[in-house]
């Protein structure tokens, strides 16, 4: 049986071990590639015969929206490397690699993103909410409570409402049902230009 994949074998020089291992772990978000390579170099540098079993069964998980290393029977050194990687992934944008933070989108979805990558994500999610639950905003034939509109969409809502002649003198922006439907249709168009969701299940 070929042993070409045995990057964890301590007899390989580090650079060779790294080159063997790198292609074995795919599907890592682009922004976390550097973090993963750094972590892999740490794992390569601590290869011993005792750790071969753990490293042989190493797998990567995106659980809890973090970059998690999963392996059987990790000793404290391997555990430390795994924990450091997961901890660092909280503060690195998984899309672009810039400094980010873990952003909780709802009770079951979160993602580590920088402000720039989070903006379209938050906008897309807010639009999805309006499209899915319009009756939470437009009640009794009127959408006239700005606080019912998702925060990230309030400026757009106010601008669209004030474009209507009926609303010229109204301090609180409002739309009737037909205006609201037109606004939602416009949001659907905006949504189609936004990237797909970047979050991972928690």
- Both tokens of 44, joined, read 């390569």
Which CB, 54 or 95, lies closer to Zn ion?
A: 95
- Is residue 44 involved in binding Zn ion (CB under 5 A)? no
| Residue selected from 117, 123, 127, 137 as contacting Zn ion according to rule CB under 5 A | 117
Closest CA to 59 of 31, 21, 97, 87: 21
Q: Which stretch binds Zn ion (CB under 5 A): 70-78, 117-125, 131-139, 151-159?
A: 117-125
| Residue selected from 114, 138, 143, 153 as contacting Zn ion according to rule CB under 5 A | 114
Query: Least distance (Å) from Zn ion to the CB of residue 22?
Result: 23
For residues 97 and 108, the answer to whether their CB atoms sit within 8 Å is: no
- Is residue 111 involved in binding Zn ion (CB under 5 A)? no
- Is residue 92 involved in binding Zn ion (CB under 5 A)? no
| Residue selected from 79, 86, 96, 194 as contacting Zn ion according to rule CB under 5 A | 96
Q: Which stretch binds Zn ion (CB under 5 A): 57-65, 111-119, 135-143, 190-198?
A: 111-119
- Is residue 122 involved in binding Zn ion (CB under 5 A)? no
DSSP 127-195: HHHHHH-GGGTSBTTEE--GGGS-GGGHHHHHHHHHTSGGGTT-SS--EEHHHHHHHHHHHHHHHHTSP
Closest CA to 47 of 5, 84, 18: 18
- Both tokens of 95, joined, read 């899309």
For residues 44 and 21, the answer to whether their CB atoms sit within 8 Å is: yes
The DSSP call for residue 103 is E
Q: Which residues pair with 200 in a beta bridge?
A: 110
The contact pattern for Zn ion, residues 125-164, with x = CB under 5 A and - = no contact, is ----------------------------------------
- Is residue 112 involved in binding Zn ion (CB under 5 A)? no
Which CB, 44 or 93, lies closer to Zn ion?
A: 93
Q: Which residues bind Zn ion (CB under 5 A)?
A: 93, 95-96, 98, 114, 117
């Amino acid at each position: 049986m070929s042993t070409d994949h045995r990057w964890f074998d301590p007899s390989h020089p580090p650079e060779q071990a790294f080159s063997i291992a790198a292609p074995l772990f795919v599907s890592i978000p682009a922004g976390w590639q550097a973090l993963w390579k750094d972590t892999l170099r740490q794992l390569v540098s601590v290869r011993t015969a005792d750790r071969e079993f753990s490293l042989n069964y190493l797998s990567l998980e995106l659980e809890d929206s973090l970059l998690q290393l999963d392996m059987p029977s990790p000793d404290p050194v391997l555990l430390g490397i795994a924990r450091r990687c997961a901890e660092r992934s909280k503060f690195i944008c998984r899309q672009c690699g810039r400094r980010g933070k873990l952003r909780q989108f709802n009770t079951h979805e979160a993602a580590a993103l920088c402000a720039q990558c989070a903006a379209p994500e938050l906008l897309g999610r807010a639009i999805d909410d309006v499209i899915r639950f319009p009756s939470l905003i437009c009640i009794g034939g009127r959408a006239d409570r700005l606080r019912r509109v998702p925060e990230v969409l309030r400026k757009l809502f106010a601008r669209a409402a004030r474009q209507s002649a009926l609303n010229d003198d109204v301090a609180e922006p409002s739309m009737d049902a037909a205006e609201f439907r037109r606004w939602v249709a416009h949001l659907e168009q905006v949504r189609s230009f936004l990237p797909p969701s970047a979050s991972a299940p928690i």
